[in-house]
Amino acid sequence: MKKVLVLPVFVGVLCAAACGGDSDPTSPGPTARVRFFNATTGMTGSGGFTTNGQFATGSALAFGQSTQTCATVSAGSTSFGFGATTSGGTGLSGNALATLNSRSITAGGNYTVVATGSATSPTLFLLDNTISGSLGTNQAAVRFVNLAPGTANPFTVFTGVLGAGGTMIATDIAVGSPTTFNTVTSGSNAFTILNGHDIVISGSAATLNLSGGSVNTLAIVPNTSDGFQLINLPRCA
Q: How far apart are the first and last CA of the chain?
A: 59
Q: What is the pLDDT of residue 161?
A: 85
Q: What is the pLDDT of residue 5?
A: 42
HSE-CB at 172 with a 13 A cutoff on CA atoms is: 1
Q: What is the pLDDT along the chain (237 residues), one digit of tens a residue?
A: 444 443 343 334 333 344 433 333 334 689 999 999 999 999 989 999 999 999 999 999 999 999 999 999 999 999 999 999 999 999 999 999 999 999 999 999 999 999 999 999 999 999 999 999 999 999 999 999 999 998 788 899 999 988 777 799 999 999 999 999 999 999 999 999 999 889 999 999 999 999 999 999 999 999 988 899 999 999 998
Distance (Å, whole) CA 216 – CA 22: 36
Q: Which domains does the chain have, with CATH numbers?
A: 29-130 (2.60.40), 131-237 (2.60.40.1120)
Compute the distance between CA of residue 189 and CA of residue 148 in angstroms, rounded to an integer: 22
Model pTM score:
0.86
Phi/psi of residue 10, nearest 5 degrees? -65, -45
DSSP for 196-224, please give it.
TTEEEE-GGGGEEEEPTT-EEEEEEEE-T
Question: What would the DSSP string read from start to end of 84-111?
Answer: EBPTTSSSBSSS-SEEEEEEEEPTT-EE
**Phi and psi at residue 135, in whole multiples of 5°?**
-115, 140
Q: Distance (Å, rounded) from C-alpha 15 to C-alpha 32?
A: 31
Tell me the HSE value of 109 on the side-chain side, using a 13 A CA sphere.
Answer: 20
Residue (of 208, 229, 217, 236) closest to 176 by Cα position:
217
Residues 6+ apart with CB under 8 A from 124: 80, 81, 82, 98, 99, 100, 113, 114, 115
pLDDT score, position 90: 95
